[in-house]
Amino acid sequence: MIQRKKNHVGNTGLQAGVAAMVPMWISPNMLTIMRICMTLCILLVDVFAASLWWVLVMGFCAGMSDFVDGAVARQRGQITQLGSYLDPLADKILGAVVGFILWRRGVLPTLPLALVLAAEGHALLLPILHVLRRRFQGRPITPLPKVRANVWGKWKFGALAWGMAFMMLGALLDWPFGLGFGAFGVWLAVVLGWIAFARYTYDWFKEQWN
């Protein structure tokens, strides 16, 4: 119990330190939008056939911004409904873009990429179900369903991030262990992604029929 409390205090202290380095005029949502823009820049880097090192470095910076915007939001009490939509959306776009680049360059096989992308189907499925149900009931489609944080989704993004990072290092350094360890991370992300999908869907149905 004491050790757990110390870890929580240390984590809070780290978040406070990170938030203190971000100017007050920069909001968490601005950082999230910046991550989306950086992800699009990663795609442009690939279009111009730049080295995979650029993708790795830019992807790392974009991934770290996920921690920064969360720390700023919690420390400043700026957690918003818009942010709860933007943050997971930014994660999904980053994962999809880097995954596509690795697939196009022959580093990531088709099957795990397809399964990861399919697991993100809740982002389309639940809004469609929401609209259809509201229309069938003759009710307005607003308010939209609330997005609740899903720990499985965060773990999925973490596993996918380090998995693809190791795969990039393996390809760049001709490092078989990196490729194998990275592949394990991606497959772990597949499993966690489908658990997250099931959880999101269950929560939505539970909310609709309660």
State how far the alpha carbon of 15 is from the alpha carbons of 9, 18, 73, 173, 182, in Å.
10, 5, 10, 33, 28
Which is it for the CA torsion 58, 114, 183, 86, positive or negative? positive
Cα separation, 151 vs 11, in Å, equals 17
Residues forming CATH 1.20.120.1760 domain(s) in the chain: 1-105
The CATH class given to the 1-105 domain equals mainly alpha
- Residue-wise pLDDT tens for the chain (210 aa)? 444 444 444 457 888 888 888 889 999 999 999 999 999 999 999 988 778 999 999 999 998 988 899 889 989 888 887 787 788 888 889 999 999 999 999 999 999 999 999 988 766 676 677 677 777 777 776 666 665 667 888 899 999 999 999 999 999 999 999 999 999 999 999 999 999 888 888 887 777 666
User: CA-CA distances (angstroms) from residue 141 to 15, 134, 204, 205?
Assistant: 37, 6, 15, 16
Q: List the end-to-end C-alpha distance of the chain, in Å, as a whole number.
A: 36
φ and ψ at 79, to 5 degrees? Answer: -80, 120
Task: Give me the residue label for tokens 């991606």.
Answer: 186
* pTM of the predicted structure, to 2 decimals: 0.82
